[in-house]
Amino acid sequence: MLTQKNLDAIIELSHDLLERIHERVSGEFEIEATIYNIVTFKLFGFSLNTFKSICYLLPHTVYEQATVLYRTLWETSVNLEWISRNPNQNALRFVQFTGVEQRRLVQKRIKAAERSGDQAVVISLAKHLAEFERELETQLAPFRFEDQRGRRRWRDRFSGHSLEAVVREVGGEWLEEYDRDYALACIYTHGAPGAVLFPLFDFPGHKLDKARSIDRSAIVGAMAIEIMARIYRRYLLDILESEDEEYLQNLSSRVREAGTL
């Protein structure tokens, strides 16, 4: 079981990575305003804020909530990797899917109005939705399909039928992480029984509970560093046309060492 000493080392390394990223990506850069570059830039910023949030939680050993954020960070990394495999087409799909998400929200508002019996709101929103679909027909078309019964359906994701299908397409380390880390993180994200009720200890002062919280926080921190490093590498290669491989390799070794202190 990892101790406070291990956790402190992981926290120090997470801050080291944040400082390194700040040093390398801060400032003004001339970047071509392609859809892929814009999407990658936004995904990187989103990932960085998520990683920072995990770093804020680690000293408090609230590993459950840090694990929820890890799930967000990991899935963002998969999205970025999938988009990078076919930059122009996949980045466009990422942008276009915002129309599907907006349509979905309006549809839910219609259902809420139907439940409350507010027919005037139902009619108004239905008209708005029909107009929205007409105006964004080209943008929405790639995500619309008919099921076996001929009913109109909408894709749940911008990248395919399911996250699992995307992970299998991307392959590599994401495959094992999907079946192991992501599956566990989902339990915490959804407040499932296994997350809420485990662990239950009956020890004076909850000593074992505290020790496990430190252990799990160190593990989540190490996992988050690995994913953020992966995202940082992709951003450097594709946006800044640069690399920081020596630092990243050294960071990976230091993370492993931190787990053996």
Paired tokens of 113: 């109005």
Task: Please give the pLDDT value at position 146.
Answer: 78
Nearest-angstrom CA–CA distance, 261 and 258: 6
Q: How many CB atoms lie within 10 A of CB 20?
A: 16
Paired tokens of 61: 């050993």
Q: What is the pLDDT of residues 150-201, one digit of tens each?
A: 788 888 888 877 899 899 999 999 999 999 999 999 999 999 998 888 765 5
Task: Please give the pLDDT value at position 70.
Answer: 98
Provide the mean pLDDT of the chain.
Answer: 92
Q: What is the pLDDT of residues 219-237, one digit of tens each?
A: 999 999 999 999 999 999 9
Question: Which of 226-257 are b and which e, b meaning 16 or more Cβ less than 10 Å from the residue's Cβ?
Answer: bbbbbbbebbbebbeeeebeebbeebeeebee
Last residue of a domain, one of 106, 131, 154: 154
Task: Please give the pLDDT value at position 145.
Answer: 83
Task: Please give the pLDDT value at position 207.
Answer: 58
Same-domain pairing of 149 and 28: no
Q: What is the pLDDT of residues 66-111, one digit of tens each?
A: 999 999 999 999 999 999 999 999 999 999 999 999 999 999 999 9
pLDDT over threshold 70, residue 238: yes
Q: Per-residue confidence at 208, pLDDT binned at 50, 70, 90?
A: low
Same-domain pairing of 112 and 75: no
Same-domain pairing of 168 and 133: no
Same-domain pairing of 188 and 82: yes
Task: Please give the pLDDT value at position 153.
Answer: 82
pLDDT over threshold 80, residue 9: yes
Same-domain pairing of 168 and 214: yes
Name the domain count of the chain: 2
Task: Please give the pLDDT value at position 216.
Answer: 92
Instruction: Write out the residue range of the structural domain in which residue 150 sits.
Output: 95-154
CA Rg, the chain, in Å? 22
pTM of the entire structure? 0.91
